Amino acid sequence: ETGVTQTPRHLVMGMTNKKSLKCEQHLGHNAMYWYKQSAKKPLELMFVYNFKEQTENNSVPSRFSPECPNSSHLFLHLHTLQPEDSALYLCASSRTGSRSYNEQFFGPGTRLTVL
Amino acid sequence: GQQLNQSPQSMFIQEGEDVSMNCTSSSIFNTWLWYKQDPGEGPVLLIALYKAGELTSNGRLTAQFGITRKDSFLNISASIPSDVGIYFCAGPPPGGGADGLTFGKGTHLIIQP
C-alpha cells in the first residue's frame, strides 16, 4: 500500500464509450501525474499537475482529458479511444518544495482494454 | 527526448546469487531513482540518489550514483524469490520543478529456485 489508490483496477471499453479513471492520494502531496505503460515501452508521462494546476501536457491526444479538482484527486476522462490506447495507466504523486520532490509514489494502475 | 538505457534487459539467475544492473544516459541527471514493479502493480520506489558518487543501501539492495552523473547501478545481494520483478531506473529531466520522470525500459529479473 503506497498511499495512492486507483479505480477501477480493470476497464474494458468500446471505442465509442466514455469512461473516467480516478486516482486519490493520501500522502499529503501536492503534485500528481498520469503515466501510460505499454508493453515493451518505457513509462510515458502524460500529464502533470502541481497544486491543481496543469504544468505539463506531454503531447497527449485530446481524447484523454485530465481533471484535478484538488491536490488529493486526479481524474482521466476517456472518450472515443483507439485499440492502441490499451495499456496500464498509472497515477503518481509527489511533494514539491523539497529535495524529495522527484520521489514519486505510484498507484497500482488501471488496466485498460479498448475493443 | 532523453533516454535511459538499462542493461541487461533480462536476467535469469539462481536463488542466492548476487545481481547487478545498470542504467546509462547521454545526459547528466541530478537525481537517480530505482523502482521495482511486480506483475499487476505499480512501480515501488526502492532507492533515491541525489549526489554524484553517492552509495545508498536499502536492505539487500545497494545503488550508486555514477561520478559522471550519466549512469547509476543497482546491486541485489543474495537474491530471494520475492526479488522477481522488473527494475526501472528513472530520473527527472533538467530544469527542476514538478516534472514527470524519464524511465528506462527496465531489467526483468527471473530467479530459478
3-class SS of residue B14: strand
Q: Do B97 and A107 touch (CB under 8 A)?
A: no
Residues 6 or more apart whose CB falls under 8 angstroms from that of A37 comprise: A43, A44, A87, A88, A89, A90, A109
Mean pLDDT computed over every residue of chain B: 92
Best interface-test mutation with A: which of B3, B34, B35, B41 has the largest number of A CBs within 10 A? Answer: B41
Helices and strands (H and E) in chain B: how many = 0, 11
The answer to whether the beta carbons of residues B111 and B81 sit under 8 Å apart is yes
Q: Which amino acid is at A24?
A: E
Q: Do B98 and A96 touch (CB under 8 A)?
A: yes
DSSP character string of B15-48: TT--EEEEEEESS--S-EEEEEE-TTS--EEEEE
pLDDT at A50: 85
For B108, how many CA atoms within 13 A lie in the half-sphere containing its CB? Answer: 7
Span B55-80, pLDDT tens digits: 999 999 999 999 999 999 999 999 99
Residues of B in contact with A50 (CB under 8 A): 97-98
Residue with the three cell numbers 484523454: A64
Span A63-112, pLDDT tens digits: 999 999 999 999 999 999 999 999 999 999 999 877 777 899 999 999 99
DSSP code, position B104: -
Measure B99 CA to nearest chain A CA, in Å: 7
